[in-house]
Structure 1
Amino acid sequence: MEEYKKTRLDDSLAILIFSQFTLLNSNRVFCTPMSVLFTPLRLGSTTISNRIGMSALTRNRSSGTVPNDLMLEYYVQRAKGGAGLIVSEGILITRQGTEWPAAPGIWDKSHIDGWKKITDAVHEAGGKMYAQLAHGGRANHPHAPEQIAAGVPVYAPSAISARGGKFRFIPREPGYAVPTEIPDPTVLIAQFKQAALNAKEAGFDGVELHGANGYLVHQFLDSTANHRTDKWGGSVENRTRFALEILKELVEVWGPDVALKISPTGGYNDMGMPLQDTIDTFGHLLREVNEMNLAYVTLVRYHPFFDVEFDGKKRATQHDVIETFAPFLTNTSVFVNAGITPTEAEELVGSGKAAGVFLGLNWITHPDLGRRIKAGKELDNVIDFQHLHGAEGVDPALGYTDYKEAIY
């Protein structure tokens, strides 16, 4: 287990590895029957059946970058298992932004067709599904296979590498490299818009912009990663411009069925600003977002598992993201993510602090998680860390679709 923790995790998975953190220390978690969590909620033009979402979890099971039938089985299991809303694993908008091998894309017809099979099956199972649109930015590596195939540099807001990083699939496991400054951010904004169009053709119910955990959008927001002197950097208004311009394009395509995920405490992928800068930056972002009438905003809260240490100091900026940022979102549903237990989820929703929650680890280990929580059943499946991201030459179903299902 300790050795596993030393291995660099994917962002969405790393965040959600601790979404039921007690499972790392115990084989069994017991739930009591929940009520308020199982009330419907209107998100944009979609009504979800309950407040327990399945957050984005990168699992590295696609065929190259194309979604496949095994992924279909995985998502359908969880749609049948009671997820109110499934958010796809991070879907790459371009090959150039692909961090990991066997991560799916949405930039060509083969991707659209692969995802359409999945969304059709999820809908047939009674589920709803958003596509999380992502780009790794400086979290990519120039020696990664998909990056080499792209034939273009690793892009970031500024030519500043993140500290840390560990690429288990590259010889000698190098850390992050110095990226190339993006010459024209509008090119990437256009790629996000095209991805949104492709996601609509693929049958998703909406899109979530990945603005968290040290990936491209977050890099523009963070003053430690963005040192630009043009209109895309410097002031709060300039650093938030990239995210806001993308969201405007997504809304043009999807109307109200657009969401945003942010992690204001930073930490992961060498992110994190002083507290006042954090409040000023994300406060301005959310004031603007609140006027866009998005379906929801997910606030990823602080968790020590995600607080990376550099030079003997923790990287994250600890503060209560719900208390600090939820007041900015008077027109938008707030979801909370990171370290949420079923009991705490009931309290957050019941008290009105959140409209819903996103869980992760327990959706990996319990395909029927929603049904278990509703029935008050124990959460006793243990995660298969060895096959979390799959492995070459090993049955990809291991640790993916082979967890026992109790209540269908």
Structure 2
Amino acid sequence: MSQSQTIDSFSPIPSTADPNSLLSTLFTPLPLSFQLTLRNKFLMAPLTRDRSVPTNVPTDLMVEYYRQRAKGGASLIVSEAVLVSRQGTPWPHAPGIWSEEQVVAWKKITDAVHEEGAIMFAQLTHTGRINHAEAPEQIASGEPIYAPSAIKARSGTGDFKFRFIAGEPGPSIPTEIPDPRQLVQVHKHAALSAKRAGFDGVELHAGGGFLVHQFLDNTANRREDNWGGSVENRARFGLEVLKVLKDVFGPGRVGIKLTPAAGYSDIGMTLEDTIETFSYFVTEADKLELAYMMFLRYDESHDPIIDGKRRATKHDMIENYRSLLKYSNFFVNGGYTPVEAAELISSNKVDGVFFARPWIANPDFPNRIKFGLGMNEIDMKRLYGPKDGRVLGEEELAKGYTDYPLAVLPN
């Protein structure tokens, strides 16, 4: 089967499998909310790919990338991190959603995804202190690097080195935001833009050591006003952002990504503080009738060694947070296999599982599971876009991005 051919439509149960087999549950619909029902349980997690070249506007190549995966059977696609404002992030070619040009470009992508029968959410992201003052986008913004407190993230924080800046420095010292309500409104503007761009909903990135996570964490948030100190105060920013997102999209169309185990981006509290903080935040966020909460399980590869010791707060997401959700779907992410996902869903331990890496090299990932076929290997050299300041052509950018072959299906 050539890459240009249409992939077969998806039957509710894998044609080559026993209808009662464990994996069959992945091919059944999933109610996301009272407004949205997913055609199957193959959810596509956000995947940073850095293809918005030369700057921060989605391209036609990105249209093809997302179309391929919608056509390949993804039911819910959450976009790569979409920056809510111009920032000096470690990703020099990350897309944004603050300008009209970006809205028009994203509309091409959401139209393509909808044409192939999938639903698409935008992952709204503000990286907070994980920025650098010398990054071109940060310079162009003319603004300070805002964070809850003026606390720099230490080096050794995973992938967050600014490789396109000489010496590959870590993040700069941020400026404490005087009034966090300013950044709440930035998120509201981004949500309004996402709605005009045709997204079915939005996911708030509240993990990864980024802005919302920084407000939650008492090692990054040392404020003494109503936005810091107590659990309730540290949770206020994230909850206020969720409220304005719901105001824009309505109930059942807002999701959130959480990484309580932390570690990445030099963030993480004691186990006692972590469970107390996230239990409160999750309970309050659930009352907003979100479409879902997605929890990233602990992964040693996301747990850097800083000053000679691991940074994360290792604990079990399902055991600690599943029972707190009354109104929102409980989703997980973090290298789960299809069998693991089916087992967790079938046992009602989770409502769904986001897959990430399989989608990178396998736009037809569900078909490969359906027919028991092998997976393409990821071209790691081409995983991200240019990191050294070069401006690549579309043909080179497509390598390791949109050029993975589809499986040859049985007759």
TM-score of the superposed pair, with normalisation by structure 2 = 0.89
1:297-335 superposed Cα distances (whole Å, 9 cap, x missing partner): 001110111111111110001110111011111211011
Distance 1:52 1:159 in 2: 40
Residue among 67, 75, 78 paired with 2:69: 78
Contact 1:365–1:383 (CA<8 Å) still a contact in 2? yes
Alignment RMSD (CA, Å) = 1.3
Distance 1:233 1:51 in 2: 38
Contact 1:34–1:376 (CA<8 Å) still a contact in 2? no
User: Residue 82 of structure 2: SS of its match in structure 1?
Assistant: strand
Distance 2:126 2:254 in 1: 17
Residue among 219, 223, 231 paired with 1:228: 223
Alpha-carbon distance change, 48 to 206 in structure 1, aligned in 2, over 3 angstroms: same
Residue aligning to 1:60:
50
Amino acid at match of 2:367: R
Residue aligning to 2:122:
131
Contact 1:50–1:84 (CA<8 Å) still a contact in 2? yes
User: Residue 240 of structure 1: SS of its match in structure 2?
Assistant: helix
Distance 2:294 2:228 in 1: 24
What is the deviation of 1:178?
1.0
Amino acid at match of 1:224: T
Residue aligning to 1:4:
none
Distance 2:103 2:358 in 1: 28
User: Residue 280 of structure 1: SS of its match in structure 2?
Assistant: helix
Contact 2:79–2:123 (CA<8 Å) still a contact in 1? yes
Which runs of 5 or more structure 2 residues have no equivalent in the other structure?
A: 1-20
1:114-163 superposed Cα distances (whole Å, 9 cap, x missing partner): 00010001100111100000001011111111001101111110000111
Matched, 1:209 2:214: no
Residue among 165, 168, 182 paired with 2:177: 182
Matched, 1:351 2:347: yes
User: Residue 34 of structure 1: SS of its match in structure 2?
Assistant: helix
Residue aligning to 1:246:
241
Contact 1:33–1:374 (CA<8 Å) still a contact in 2? no
User: Residue 377 of structure 2: SS of its match in structure 1?
Assistant: coil
Distance 2:42 2:336 in 1: 11
What is the deviation of 1:172?
1.0
Amino acid at match of 2:86: R
Amino acid at match of 1:43: L
1:158-177 superposed Cα distances (whole Å, 9 cap, x missing partner): 00011124111111111122
1:187-212 superposed Cα distances (whole Å, 9 cap, x missing partner): 11001011111111100110000001
Residue aligning to 1:8:
none
1:360-407 superposed Cα distances (whole Å, 9 cap, x missing partner): 11110111112212222222x111111111223541101110111116
Aligned ranges 1:257-296 → 2 under 5 Å = 257-296=253-292
What is the deviation of 1:275?
0.6
Identity %: 56
Distance 2:178 2:98 in 1: 21
Alpha-carbon distance change, 97 to 239 in structure 1, aligned in 2, over 3 angstroms: farther
Distance 1:268 1:212 in 2: 9
Alpha-carbon distance change, 235 to 33 in structure 1, aligned in 2, over 3 angstroms: closer
Aligned ranges 1:145-184 → 2 under 5 Å = 145-164=136-155, 165-184=160-179
Alpha-carbon distance change, 136 to 198 in structure 1, aligned in 2, over 3 angstroms: same
User: Residue 238 of structure 1: SS of its match in structure 2?
Assistant: helix
Residue among 364, 367, 379 paired with 1:384: 379
Aligned ranges 1:262-341 → 2 under 5 Å = 262-341=258-337
Contact 2:75–2:117 (CA<8 Å) still a contact in 1? no
Alpha-carbon distance change, 346 to 368 in structure 1, aligned in 2, over 3 angstroms: same
Residue aligning to 2:78:
87
Distance 1:58 1:303 in 2: 18
Residue aligning to 2:13:
none
Amino acid at match of 1:402: D
What is the deviation of 1:97?
6.2
Residue aligning to 1:404:
405
Amino acid at match of 1:46: L
Which runs of 5 or more structure 1 residues have no equivalent in the other structure?
A: 1-31
Distance 1:203 1:88 in 2: 12
Q: 384-393 or 293-302, which moves further after superposition?
A: 384-393
Looking at CA atoms only, which structure, 1 or 2, has the larger radius of gyration? 2
Distance 1:33 1:319 in 2: 27
Contact 1:97–1:137 (CA<8 Å) still a contact in 2? no
Runs (4+) of structure 1 exceeding 3 A deviation are: 96-99
Contact 1:274–1:317 (CA<8 Å) still a contact in 2? yes
